[in-house]
C-alpha cells in the first residue's frame, strides 16, 4: 500500500511540475513557450520604464509574449536592411522611419484596424504619408542656457548668432536630427526657403560657424560639457531638460519665439510580418490614452493623443496642449533625406 501511495504521489508531483510556468485561459492550459510572440524593435533609452508602461501591460492583457530588440536608430535600421523577417514592429525617429520607407522595409497600414489613430492631433496621424505609421510620442527641439552666465535672456533662434556668445555654444552636428533642424532654422533666419535658395542658407551657417560653436554628435557629450561649464548654451530636446537641470539648477529651457520643430517618434509594421493583426493591436495600445499618459508622467515622451489630460505640474517640460502643438513646425523628411549628401559635402 505504501508503495502504491508513493507512486501516486510521485505521479502527482511530476504532473504539478510539468504544469508549472503554464497559465489557464478559457479552460485550456497554455505553456508560455506557445504564446503568440511579437518582436518589437525599439530604443534602449528608458527601456525599463517603457517595459513597465507598455510591454508588460500589453502582454498581460492579450496573453502574448513581447520580445524587444534594442539599439539606436541607425543600428536597428541597418539590421532591418539585412534581415527584416525577425522583426514585426519598429519604433524609429521620423527621419529614420522615412529612410526605412524609402528602402521598402515598412508595411502599408490599415487604419481602420487602429482606431486610436483618430484620437491623435492631426499632425501626428500620418507624419510620413497616409499609408504609414503615426507618431506615438514627441519631443520639442529648443535651447537651454545657464542663467548664471548668460545674463541677457535667450528668446530667439537668432540669439545663436550674437557675438557675445562666441565660443560658448554647443550645437548638433548635421549627421543627427538637431543639425538638420539647424539648417531649417538658418533658412528662416536668412528669410529664404531652403528648397529655393540653399546658398543663402549656407551663408547664414557660415556666419554661425564664425561664432565658434562646438558641434556634437552625441548628446551626452554636450550635456557633460554644459554641466562642467565648458559651454553656456546648447541645443537640446524637451525630454533631456530634467536631467540637465539636475546638474545645473540655474539652467533655463527655451522654446524660441519663432516656433520649433518636433522630434517625432513613429511606430510602423515591418513589411512581410506574419503577425500583422497582433502588430496592429500593439500600435493601437501605444496610442491609447492610458499608455500615452503613463509615458508622459514618466517624462519619456510628450503625448500625441489629444484626449490625455495633465496638470500644469505633470506637463512641465512636455509639449502639451493645443497651443503648444500648433507652435510646432513640420519637416519634409523625404526632401531632407534626399538632400543630405549634398548638404554634408557643403
Q: Specify whether the CB–CB gap between 104 and 271 falls below 8 A.
A: yes
Residues 26-72: tens digit of each pLDDT: 333 344 567 899 999 999 878 899 999 999 999 999 999 999 999 98
Residue 33: the pLDDT is: 67
Tens-level pLDDT at each residue, the chain (346 residues) = 434 444 333 344 333 434 334 443 333 334 456 789 999 999 987 889 999 999 999 999 999 999 999 998 989 999 999 998 899 999 999 999 999 999 999 999 999 999 999 999 999 999 999 999 999 999 999 999 999 999 999 999 999 999 999 999 999 999 888 999 999 999 999 999 999 999 999 999 999 999 999 999 988 899 999 999 999 999 999 988 988 999 999 999 999 999 999 999 999 999 999 999 999 999 999 999 999 999 999 988 999 999 999 999 999 889 999 999 988 999 999 999 899 999 998 8
Q: Specify whether the CB–CB gap between 146 and 250 falls below 8 A.
A: yes
Q: How far apart are CA 144 and CA 254, in angstroms?
A: 6
Q: How far apart are CA 94 and CA 149, in angstroms?
A: 35
Residues 300-311: tens digit of each pLDDT: 899 999 999 999
Q: Strand ranges (DSSP E) for the chain?
A: 22-25, 28-31, 37-42, 65-70, 89-93, 135-146, 169-172, 214-216, 233-237, 251-254, 262-269
For 276, other C-beta atoms within 10 Å of its C-beta total 17
Q: How far apart are CA 62 and CA 207, in angstroms?
A: 56
**Partners of 146 in the β-ladder:** 251
Q: How far apart are CA 129 and CA 111, in angstroms?
A: 12
Q: How far apart are CA 184 and CA 73, in angstroms?
A: 22
Domains and CATH numbers, the chain: 31-138+263-320 (3.40.190.10), 140-262+336-345 (3.40.190.10)
Q: How far apart are CA 17 and CA 37, in angstroms?
A: 24
Residue 84: the pLDDT is: 85
In DSSP notation, 121-136 reads -HHHH-TT-TTS--EE
Q: Specify whether the CB–CB gap between 25 and 62 falls below 8 A.
A: no
CB neighbours of 39 closer than 8 A, spacing ≥ 6?
A: 66, 67, 68, 69, 86, 87, 88, 89
Residue 227: the pLDDT is: 94
Residue 219: the pLDDT is: 87
Residue 206: the pLDDT is: 96
CB neighbours of 202 closer than 8 A, spacing ≥ 6?
A: 186, 346
Q: How far apart are CA 80 and CA 63, in angstroms?
A: 27
Q: How far apart are CA 81 and CA 79, in angstroms?
A: 5
Question: How is residue 31 written as a grid cell?
Answer: 505553456
Amino acid at each position: 500500500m505504501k508503495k502504491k501511495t508513493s507512486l501516486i504521489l510521485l505521479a502527482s508531483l511530476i504532473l504539478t511540475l510539468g504544469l508549472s510556468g503554464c497559465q489557464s485561459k478559457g479552460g485550456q492550459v497554455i505553456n508560455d513557450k506557445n504564446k503568440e510572440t511579437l518582436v518589437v524593435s525599439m530604443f534602449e533609452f528608458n527601456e525599463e520604464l517603457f517595459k513597465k508602461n507598455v510591454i508588460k501591460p500589453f502582454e498581460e492583457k492579450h496573453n502574448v509574449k513581447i520580445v524587444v530588440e534594442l539599439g539606436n536608430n541607425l543600428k536597428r535600421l541597418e539590421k532591418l536592411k539585412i534581415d527584416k523577417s525577425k522583426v514585426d514592429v519598429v519604433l524609429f525617429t521620423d527621419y529614420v522611419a522615412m529612410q526605412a520607407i524609402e528602402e521598402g522595409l515598412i508595411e502599408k497600414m490599415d487604419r481602420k484596424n487602429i482606431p486610436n489613430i483618430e484620437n491623435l492631433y492631426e499632425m501626428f496621424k500620418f507624419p510620413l504619408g497616409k499609408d504609414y505609421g503615426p507618431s506615438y510620442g514627441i519631443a520639442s527641439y529648443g535651447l537651454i542656457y545657464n542663467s548664471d552666465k548668460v545674463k541677457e535672456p535667450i528668446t530667439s533662434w537668432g540669439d545663436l548668432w550674437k557675438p557675445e556668445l562666441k565660443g560658448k555654444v554647443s550645437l548638433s552636428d548635421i549627421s543627427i536630427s538637431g543639425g538638420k533642424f539647424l539648417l531649417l532654422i538658418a533658412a528662416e533666419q536668412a528669410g529664404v526657403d531652403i528648397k529655393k535658395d540653399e546658398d543663402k542658407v549656407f551663408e547664414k551657417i557660415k556666419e554661425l560657424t564664425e561664432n565658434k560653436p562646438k558641434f556634437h554628435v552625441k548628446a551626452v557629450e554636450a550635456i557633460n560639457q554644459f554641466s562642467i561649464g565648458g559651454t553656456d548654451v546648447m541645443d537640446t530636446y524637451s525630454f533631456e531638460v530634467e536631467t540637465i537641470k539636475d546638474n545645473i539648477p540655474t539652467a533655463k529651457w527655451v522654446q524660441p519665439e519663432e516656433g520649433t520643430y518636433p522630434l517625432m517618434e513613429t511606430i510602423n509594421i515591418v513589411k512581410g510580418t506574419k503577425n500583422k493583426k497582433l502588430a496592429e493591436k500593439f500600435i493601437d495600445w501605444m496610442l491609447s490614452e492610458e499608455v500615452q499618459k503613463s509615458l508622459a508622467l514618466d517624462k519619456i515622451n510628450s503625448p500625441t493623443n489629444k484626449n490625455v489630460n495633465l496638470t500644469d505640474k505633470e506637463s512641465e517640460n512636455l509639449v502639451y496642449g493645443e497651443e503648444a502643438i500648433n507652435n510646432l513646425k513640420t519637416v519634409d523628411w523625404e526632401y531632407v533625406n534626399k538632400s543630405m549628401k549634398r548638404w554634408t559635402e557643403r
